[in-house]
């Protein structure tokens, strides 16, 4: 079954709560003061159930004094039921609610024209025309108009079916996104302990899952789950949910806190967003149901870096209303970057094109040589991103922008040139400000670089005499041909010495120093222009195990040439 959340909207006394009760048989005015005053003060909750979809309804207050409660009610819904009194038509709070809904990204709505039993048909048509013009002026669409009378039961079945079709059309499967439950209350149930109640905006949750309540960071196990008064094994996006988490202190929970899963979403007290606000001023920003004060620093005409008074959970594309400090609606915002690392206006401005086109590439640029792990990358969009689809260097569990790695390569190359092809590993790491994994990649990715002991060596430029193991190896090779197993302690430098001609590989896992090789050749020349194996053996004092590979190597080098049982010097 699909699930969908709808909010009601409309001016005070236009019949929102009465209509919800007529549709669902649930009275959403649950507070004593609401009963006493005959007016909704806080949000109420109801639901409509069909064979193919279950619609949660959040009824919001219409009075201007409760604007923040109205915003909270519309913060987690995906659809809107606009309720307009046929006689009064569009009123101030009608407009305000429509604008709030638009701020949260709602683009289409259903319209119920109420109390049609008190007016004639022409008045109903005039009200509909006024609503049409108003909605059009806000660039919103109307799915359908439904004249109703709760007193006489007129049009209620048609409205129910309209809401079903409307919800089916807009319902989006968000189960694959990370879990986000926006909490509106917490309380204790005797025998069960703390219950957290809210709306599941995205993702899914099962009994036994571990959750985190942010921004306070409380972790708990889910003991039981309920939706609309029924125990269930799991819940998903689009549902009202009650989470039994006994280990959490319910008194620590505030409206607008988020329930998420560990290591999925990251909170931040800085965001980059698009809004029509003024630089240097302080505003109230609604992230979900929670109103948080923040100060705006202008980056470009309509893009701002916001420093918030407390951290928030949000993802790229999230929307919401902006209020002045005295609670007046100002504009809407859209999150461009939920987790900015670099807050320099110059950096943001110079990379603004990247930020607006590809947030992941921008984040990789921000993190530079440090790299960004997948938890951070996933948090940007609130879902798991396939790392193979990201254009980046992947080193260990981190991703690096190509520019960052290429810059580090260039810096390392310059460092080696400045230091005559040789630099200590720790010094290079300090200068480049990179981790060990990046440094190893920079070296392995270059055919001219290698590690020797604690050094990074440019095999073409380095003066190997400055390396202790080189000096020790040269000394060790002075007294004869050595087997590879004898050179294990020199394996880091051995390959480089062969490459640079200080050592020669005779094959058969045998090595000889260049100085000794030249000495042996000089001694063999004393035998004349040609010689045989026996003469060479007696002259050099070598066994055939070492002598034959030596003579064959001299042939390979073009120093000698084998002719039958003898060898002739060619040069």
**Residues 216-232, mean pLDDT to the nearest whole number:** 94
* Interatomic CA distance for residues 282 and 183, integer angstroms: 26
pLDDT at 64 over 60: no
Q: Judge contact between 106 and 78, C-beta under 8 A.
A: yes
Q: What is the DSSP letter of 208?
A: T
Nearest-10 Cα torsion for 86, 28, 32, 84:
-10
Cα separations in angstroms, 67 against 289, 292, 293, 330: 12, 15, 16, 13
Q: Which of 81, 77, 44 is nearest to 160 (CA)?
A: 81
**pLDDT given at position 39:** 36
Q: Which residues lie below 8 Å from residue 76, measured CB to CB, with a gap of 6+?
A: 5, 58, 182, 198, 199, 201, 288, 289
Torsion over CA: 130, 134, 137, 142 (sign)? negative
> Peptide bond preceding 215: is omega within 30 degrees of 0, i.e. cis?
yes
User: Taking all residues of the chain, what is their mean pLDDT, rounded to a whole number?
Assistant: 92
- The values of phi and psi at residue 191, to 5°, are 90, -15
- The values of phi and psi at residue 556, to 5°, are -60, -40
β-partners of residue 421 are none
**pLDDT given at position 1:** 83
| pLDDT > 70 fraction of the chain, expressed in percent and rounded | 96
Q: Which helix (H) or strand (E) holds 519?
A: helix 514-525
298 by DSSP, 3-state: which? strand
**pLDDT given at position 41:** 38
pLDDT at 152 over 60: yes
**pLDDT given at position 36:** 39
Cα separations in angstroms, 117 against 86, 121, 154, 460: 9, 9, 8, 94
Q: Can you tell me which residue has the tokens 């050749």?
A: 521
Q: Judge contact between 256 and 72, C-beta under 8 A.
A: yes
Strands 79-85 and 2-9, by their bridges, are: parallel
Tokens at 262, concatenated: 């560990």
Q: Which of 111, 149, 126, 161 is nearest to 9 (CA)?
A: 111
**Residues 484-512, mean pLDDT to the nearest whole number:** 90
Strands 224-227 and 240-244, by their bridges, are: antiparallel
**Residues 276-291, mean pLDDT to the nearest whole number:** 96
Q: Which residues lie below 8 Å from residue 394, measured CB to CB, with a gap of 6+?
A: 387, 400
- What are 157-174's pLDDT values in tens digits? 999 999 999 999 999 888
Confidence bin at 35 (pLDDT 50/70/90): very low
* Interatomic CA distance for residues 357 and 380, integer angstroms: 14
Residues written for the chain: 571
pLDDT at 459 over 90: no
**pLDDT given at position 42:** 53
- What are 518-548's pLDDT values in tens digits? 999 999 999 999 999 999 999 999 999 999 9
Which spans in 394-513 are helix H?
402-418, 425-432, 436-444, 468-476, 491-500
* Interatomic CA distance for residues 81 and 10, integer angstroms: 9
- What are 408-441's pLDDT values in tens digits? 999 999 999 999 889 999 999 999 999 999 999 9
Lowest mean pLDDT among 40-54, 139-153, 373-387, 442-456: 40-54
Q: Got the DSSP string for 367-381?
A: HGGG-EEHHHHHHHH
Confidence bin at 12 (pLDDT 50/70/90): confident
Q: Judge contact between 497 and 510, C-beta under 8 A.
A: no
Q: Taking the mean position of all CA atoms in its chain, how far away is CA 216?
A: 20
Cα separations in angstroms, 287 against 103, 291, 322, 380: 11, 6, 10, 15
**Residues 506-515, mean pLDDT to the nearest whole number:** 93
**Residues 371-394, mean pLDDT to the nearest whole number:** 95
pTM for the whole structure: 0.83
* Interatomic CA distance for residues 122 and 209, integer angstroms: 56
| pLDDT > 90 fraction of the chain, expressed in percent and rounded | 80
Tokens at 456, concatenated: 């990074």
**pLDDT given at position 15:** 81
Q: At what angle do helices 491-500 and 468-476 cross, to 10 degrees?
A: 80
**Residues 362-383, mean pLDDT to the nearest whole number:** 96
Q: Which of 22, 63, 14, 15 is nearest to 163 (CA)?
A: 22
Query: For the chain, how many helices (H) and strands (E)?
Result: 18, 34
**pLDDT given at position 66:** 56
**Residues 64-70, mean pLDDT to the nearest whole number:** 70
Half-sphere exposure of 366 (CA within 13 A, CB side): 24
Q: Taking the mean position of all CA atoms in its chain, how far away is CA 460?
A: 42
């Amino acid at each position: 079954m699909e699930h969908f959340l709808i909010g009601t909207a409309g001016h005070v006394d236009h019949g929102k709560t009465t209509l919800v009760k007529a549709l669902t048989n649930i009275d959403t005015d649950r507070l004593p003061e609401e009963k006493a005053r005959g007016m909704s003060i806080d949000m109420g909750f109801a639901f409509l159930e069909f064979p193919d979809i279950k619609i949660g309804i959040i009824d919001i207050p219409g009075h201007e004094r409760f604007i923040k409660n109205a915003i909270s009610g519309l913060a987690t819904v995906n659809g809107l039921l606009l309720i307009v009194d046929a006689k009064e038509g569009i009123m101030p709070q009608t407009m305000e609610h429509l604008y709030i809904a638009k701020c949260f990204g709602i683009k289409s709505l259903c319209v119920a024209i109420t109390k049609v039993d008190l007016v004639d048909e022409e008045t109903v048509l005039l009200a509909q025309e006024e609503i049409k013009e108003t909605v059009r002026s806000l660039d919103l669409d109307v799915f359908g108009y439904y004249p109703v009378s709760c007193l006489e039961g007129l049009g209620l079945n048609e409205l129910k079916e309209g809401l079903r079709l409307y919800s089916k059309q807009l319902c989006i499967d968000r189960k694959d996104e990370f879990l986000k439950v926006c909490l509106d209350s917490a309380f204790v149930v005797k025998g069960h302990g703390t219950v957290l109640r809210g709306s599941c905006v995205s993702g899914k949750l099962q009994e036994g899952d571990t959750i985190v309540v942010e921004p306070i960071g409380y972790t708990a196990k889910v003991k039981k789950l309920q939706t609309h008064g029924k125990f269930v094994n799991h819940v998903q996006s689009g549902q009202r949910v009650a989470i039994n988490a006994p280990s959490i202190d319910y008194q620590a929970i505030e409206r607008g806190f988020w329930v998420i899963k560990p290591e999925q979403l990251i909170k931040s007290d800085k965001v980059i967003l698009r809004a029509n606000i003024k630089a240097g001023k302080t505003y109230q920003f609604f992230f979900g149901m929670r109103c948080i004060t923040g100060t705006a620093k202008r980056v470009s005409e309509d893009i701002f870096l916001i420093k918030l008074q407390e951290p928030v959970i949000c993802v790229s594309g999230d929307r919401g209303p902006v209020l002045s400090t005295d609670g007046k609606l100002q504009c809407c915002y859209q999150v461009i970057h939920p987790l900015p690392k670099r807050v320099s206006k110059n950096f943001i401005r110079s990379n603004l094109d990247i930020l607006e086109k590809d947030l992941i590439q921008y984040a990789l640029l921000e993190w530079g040589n440090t790299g960004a792990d997948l938890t951070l990358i996933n948090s940007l969009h609130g879902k798991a991103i396939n790392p193979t689809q990201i254009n980046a260097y992947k080193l260990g569990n981190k991703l690096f922008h190509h520019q960052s790695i290429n810059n580090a390569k260039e810096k390392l190359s310059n460092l080696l040139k400045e230091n005559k092809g040789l630099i200590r590993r720790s010094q290079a790491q300090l200068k480049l400000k990179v981790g060990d994994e990046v440094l190893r990649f920079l070296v392995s990715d270059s055919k001219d670089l290698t590690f020797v002991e604690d050094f990074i060596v440019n095999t073409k430029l380095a003066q190997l005499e400055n390396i202790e193991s080189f000096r020790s190896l040269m000394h060790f090779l002075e007294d004869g041909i050595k087997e590879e197993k004898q050179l294990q302690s020199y394996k880091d430098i051995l390959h480089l010495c062969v490459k640079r001609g200080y050592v020669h590989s005779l094959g058969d896992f045998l090595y000889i120093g260049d100085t000794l090789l030249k000495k042996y050749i000089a001694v063999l020349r004393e035998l004349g222009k040609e010689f045989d194996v026996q003469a060479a053996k007696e002259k050099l004092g070598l066994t055939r195990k070492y002598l034959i590979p030596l003579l064959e190597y001299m042939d390979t080098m073009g120093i000698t040439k084998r002719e039958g049982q003898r060898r002739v010097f060619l040069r």
